[in-house]
Each structure stands twice: as C-alpha cells, then as structure tokens.
C-alpha cells in the first residue's frame, strides 16, 4: 500500500475575510427569504391563488429575495471573490 497518494494533497489557500463575506451574502439572502416565507406564509399567494394574476403570484417578496440571493451567489459572487483574491 502506498501512503504517498494520501499525503500529496495540495494545501488550501486561505481566503480573506472580505472574500468569505462576499461569498456568504448570497446564501444568507436565500436563507432570509426562506425564513421570511416561513414566518409570514400569507405573503406567498402561491399557496392560495384566489383570483390573482400571474404577475401577482410571481412577484411575491420572499420569492424575489430567494431569487436575488441565488443570482448573486451563482453569477455575481464568484467574479467578485476572484477580484478580491487578485
């Protein structure tokens, strides 16, 4: 058995506090939107769409917060973290 394979893992580079903060903003926004939806379920009219139009159903504030957090986490944050580390 060769133990050299297990010990040759590259050392992880330590990220700055700014990079960690920027990368955490997206998941925190998603979590805030989910908590908001759980605390105030009457804001989600998808649960009871009594005659509301499509745009009323889509533009619910907790859903928009979750969407904004996901967009930030997957599209904006990686390039910002890359710029901060450079």
- For the stretch 43-73, pLDDT in tens is 776 666 677 777 776 778 888 999 999 999 9
Q: Residue 59 has what pLDDT?
A: 78
Q: Read off the tokens for 32.
A: 């805030």
Question: Is 8 within a domain?
Answer: no
Does the pLDDT of residue 5 top 70, yes or no? no
pLDDT at site 2: 60
In a domain, residue 6? The reply is no
Confirm if 72 and 21 have CB atoms less than 8 A apart.
no
Domain boundaries, position 21: 17-85
Per the domain annotation, does 48 fall within a domain?
yes
What's the pLDDT at 80? Answer: 92
Q: Is residue 27 part of a domain?
A: yes
Reduced to 3 states (helix: H, G, I; strand: E, B; else coil), residue 47 is coil
- The 3-state DSSP composition of the chain as helix, strand, coil percent (nearest 5) reads 70, 0, 30
Per cent of the chain over pLDDT 90 is 37
């Amino acid at each position: 058995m060769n133990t050299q394979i297990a010990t040759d893992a590259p050392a992880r580079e330590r990220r700055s506090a700014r990079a960690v903060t920027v990368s955490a903003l997206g998941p925190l926004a998603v979590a805030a939107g989910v908590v908001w939806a759980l605390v105030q379920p009457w804001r989600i009219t998808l649960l009871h769409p009594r005659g509301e139009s499509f745009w009323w159903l889509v533009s619910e504030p907790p859903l928009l917060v979750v969407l904004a957090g996901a967009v930030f986490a997957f599209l904006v944050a990686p390039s910002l973290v890359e710029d901060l580390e450079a």
